[in-house]
Structures are given as C-alpha cells and as structure tokens.
A and B are shown apart, each in its own frame.
Chain A
Amino acid sequence: MVSPNTELAYDSKIEGDVIVSRLDAVINWIRTNSMWPMPMGLACCAIELMAVAAARFDIARFGAEVMRFSPRQSDCMIVAGTVTYKMAPQVRRLYDQMPAPKWVIAMGACASTGGMYRSYAVLQGVDRILPVDVYVSGCPPRPEALLDALIKLQAKVRREPAAKRLFRT
C-alpha cells in the first residue's frame, strides 16, 4: 500500500528544532549506546574479550569499543578472568574510581563463581566485592556470549529511572 503521507515521524517543518521525548528515554539512549568498558582482564577470558573488540565480532557495533584503561572514563567494568584474593582489593578500588552510573559484567566461570579454582587463593565470585549486573557463563565464554551480555545490560539500563536518579540528592 502506498501512503501519500511520507512524513512518518519527526517533521522539522511542523515541529521546528524541538523533539519531545521522555528524559529517561533520552538519557538511557545515550548511556546504552556509549557504554565504555573498563577491561578488567585478569586471565584467559581476557583473550576472548580482545576477540570481542577485534574486527570479527566488533563490539563497536554496540557502541562499547572504547576500552578505557582509566577507570575515570569508563562506565562498565568487564571482569574477565580469575580474581585472586590478592587482586580483589585492586579490582574493588578501580570500581570505586569509576564515576557513577556504572555497571559490572562478570565474564566467565571464574569471575562469576571462582570457576574451577576452588582454592585458597581465589575469590569465589566477584559478586562478593562488586554489585554484578550480568553474569556470563562459559570457560571462556564465546565472544557472542559477551555481546549478548552487553545487549542484556543495555536492556537493563533502558529500564532504569535515569532522570529520577539524576536529580536525587
């Protein structure tokens, strides 16, 4: 069916330079599509994290290709690898240095639960020191799985009452 009306959405002639939307939608739209990761690569999972960033899987398609090695410029910590007790305080410290809003993805069995390292030296799941948003299973997870985790996290962020939190004192 051919419609004579070609102006399906925003019409600059009618609405001028104004777009009406919900503040939540705008903020979350910005946040979800520029989620800069803090790559917390601690063990073998970090190799898959690199693959995610490389050309074949290309996390840039989801706006998260800007791996920031400075916590102050990042939004989402991806814990990729085995967190030892010796490393745990540093991981937490880096998380504390990230500006809010911030999210955490626990990538792989080790970061999620300690994985196969049921030992005296390994933190049994990074959720003991950080609030984890998305867990990714696998040892290591396929790069697609991490992309899926990112998409899930974006869906989660989209539901957040961002504006309310913005003006909260």
Chain B
Amino acid sequence: MTATADVATVLKEKFPQITGRESLDWPAFNVPGDQAPAVLQCLRDECAFDLLVDVTAVDWGVGQSPRFTVVWHLLSTTRHTYVRVAAACADDAKPSMPSVTGLWPGANWHERETYDMFGIVFTGHPDLRRILMWEGYPYFPLRKEFPLAGLDTSLPDPEVADETGARVKPAPYMGGPFVAAPGGPMDEAEPRAKDQSWTERQEKPS
C-alpha cells in the first residue's frame, strides 16, 4: 500500500489538476489530456513504472461529453504494481490525444489500434495508419454507434471487387446475438439466438 500512496503523493505534488479515479484494483488517476505525456513520463522516470502495458480507449456513447477517454496501463517491473491513467479527449467529434511514442516506442502499435478502432488521432505519432482494418475503411468499429454486424462498404481492392461483385456486407444475424445458457447439459447450453423467428431471408419482424 505504501507504493500506492507514494504514487498519489508524487503525482499530486507535481500536477495539482490530477484527481483520483474510481478503481477496483490498482491506483488510477484522471489527468487532463494535454498533461498526459508529462504525467506518464513522471510515472516512468520517478515512480519506476517502466513498462507500458496497454493503450486503449473508452467510448461513453453517442451524445456523451466527454465522449472518448484514453486509458494507459503501466507496470513497474521492479515493484510489480500497475497504475492506470485516464484522460478525456476534449473534442467529441474529432477526438485527439498527444502520442507517447516518444516515451515508449511500443506505444506505436497500441496507438494505431486505438486510432483504428475509435478514430482517436494521436498527435505526434510518427506513422498513424490503420492497423487492423484496411486503409480507406470508412468506419471506426468500436464506436458505440457501429453495429457488430458491420456496415455496407466496398472491398479494399477495387479490381477484385469489380471482378467478383462482392461487397463488405453486414453479417447475417439470424435472430442473434447468440448466447449460451449457463449450466445444464452441453447440448442445451449451446449458444443459440434468443429470437429465432427471423432469418436472412425472413426479415426481422418490427
């Protein structure tokens, strides 16, 4: 616990705007977006959090403000503790956040993924391209308004799209999402759709 208290005092002393963040496990802090790299550098250099485990984001939903929160997880390989730092993006429509690739080169791909999935632009990133979806994909799949089945768009390669006539189509849900019943024998616990009255051919009753 002493280590936890240490981190809080060190940070509070240097960055008075920092507030505690509700957390069930490790110490967590809310940080103003523009100070995030400085706070992370302080954690790295003064509190021995030398490993950046994860960069991700939270979308709080359409119409929320602030809508996007970027979250960093740091690990101290010497003290074996984690710390979580979160910063809200100021702009809800065009979210952006300073990059920490200068502090940890490993942040590069994490930030590309977060950009790919949420559309958060990391300013100062050396090569901010999509990493999972293809270049030119028009949506950000982990945003709340994006349906799991996907949205209609064209294939990445126009030549192949022309030749095959195939498109990126919403996946058929056939009455899904599919849920497994807990307990019971295996054949009854199989994942199945809750509402099986509609299929790909038979439209969902409205």
Q: Which residues of A contact B (CB under 8 A)?
A: 85-86, 88-89, 92-93, 96, 114, 117-124, 128-129
Q: Is the CB of A120 within 8 A of B134?
A: no
Q: Is the CB of A93 within 8 A of B155?
A: no
Q: Which 3 A-B pairs have the closest CB atoms?
A: A120-B150, A89-B157, A89-B160
Nearest B-chain residue to A88, judged by Cβ: B155
Q: Is the CB of A119 within 8 A of B164?
A: no
Q: Is the CB of B164 within 8 A of A86?
A: no
Q: Is the CB of A93 within 8 A of B176?
A: no
Query: Do A121 and B149 form a contact, CB below 8 Å, given A128-B164, A129-B166?
Result: no
Q: Is the CB of A118 within 8 A of B176?
A: yes
Tell me the complex Cα distance, A128–B155, Å.
12
Query: Do A129 and B171 form a contact, CB below 8 Å, given A118-B176, A120-B148, A120-B150?
Result: no
Query: Do A118 and B166 form a contact, CB below 8 Å, given A85-B134, A85-B155, A124-B171?
Result: no
Q: Could you pull out 19 A-B pairs where Cβ atoms are within 8 angstroms?
A: A85-B156, A86-B134, A86-B156, A89-B155, A89-B156, A89-B157, A92-B164, A93-B157, A118-B171, A118-B172, A119-B149, A119-B171, A120-B139, A120-B141, A120-B147, A121-B133, A128-B164, A128-B166, A129-B166
B145-172 at interface with A (beta carbon < 8 Å): 146-151, 155-157, 159-161, 163-164, 166, 168-172
Interface size on B, residues (CB 8 A): 28
Q: Is the CB of A129 within 8 A of B164?
A: yes
Q: Is the CB of A118 within 8 A of B149?
A: yes
Nearest A-chain residue to B200, judged by Cβ: A124
- Shortest CB-to-CB span from A113 to chain B, Å, is 9
Q: Which residues of A contact B148 (CB under 8 A)?
A: 118-120
Nearest B-chain residue to A120, judged by Cβ: B150
Q: Which residues of B contact A (CB under 8 A)?
A: 132-134, 139, 141, 146-151, 155-157, 159-161, 163-164, 166, 168-173, 176, 178
Q: Which residues of A contact B141 (CB under 8 A)?
A: 120-121
The one of A86, A89, A96, A119 in contact with B150, judged by C-beta atoms closer than 8 angstroms, is A119
The one of A92, A117, A128 in contact with B163, judged by C-beta atoms closer than 8 angstroms, is A92
- Shortest CB-to-CB span from B153 to chain A, Å, is 9
Q: Which residues of A contact B157 (CB under 8 A)?
A: 89, 92-93
Tell me the complex Cα distance, A93–B158, Å.
12
Tell me the complex Cα distance, A93–B155, Å.
13
Q: Is the CB of A118 within 8 A of B173?
A: yes
Q: A86-B133, A88-B160 are in contact. List 16 more A-B contacts (CB 8 A).
A: A86-B156, A88-B155, A88-B156, A89-B159, A92-B164, A118-B148, A118-B173, A119-B148, A119-B150, A120-B148, A120-B150, A120-B151, A121-B132, A121-B141, A124-B171, A129-B166
Q: Which residues of B contact A123 (CB under 8 A)?
A: 166
Q: Which of A86, A122, A128 has the most CB of B within 10 A?
A: A86
- Shortest CB-to-CB span from A97 to chain B, Å, is 12
- Shortest CB-to-CB span from A28 to chain B, Å, is 28
Q: Which residues of A contact B172 (CB under 8 A)?
A: 118, 124
The one of B149, B155, B156 in contact with A120, judged by C-beta atoms closer than 8 angstroms, is B149
Tell me the complex Cα distance, A122–B149, Å.
10
- Shortest CB-to-CB span from B201 to chain A, Å, is 14
